[in-house]
Amino acid sequence: MDLLTILYYCDPFLNSFEVLLGSVIGIATNFTILSQILMYQKPQAGKEKKTK
């Protein structure tokens, strides 16, 4: 048996640690995606005016 298997069966808090770690990874991923979307959005106000 490897160390992770022993820790999984012996540590009752490992399951909540995995849930917490997954939540942190999910939040970080969502923040990264949303920040990229906001950074690369084209400005809408400048495109509407046409100069002659």
pLDDT, tens digit only, all 52 positions of the chain: 576 676 666 666 666 777 888 899 999 999 999 999 999 987 665 555 556 5
Q: Does residue 48 belong to any structural domain of this protein?
A: no
Residue range(s) defining the domain that contains residue 24: 3-41
Task: Answer whether 0.75 is exceeded by the pTM.
Answer: no
Q: Is residue 47 part of a domain?
A: no
Long-range residue pairs from 23-32, CB within 8 A, at least 24 positions apart, any chain:
none
Pair of tokens at residue 12: 């009752």
Q: What is the count of structural domains for the chain? A: 1
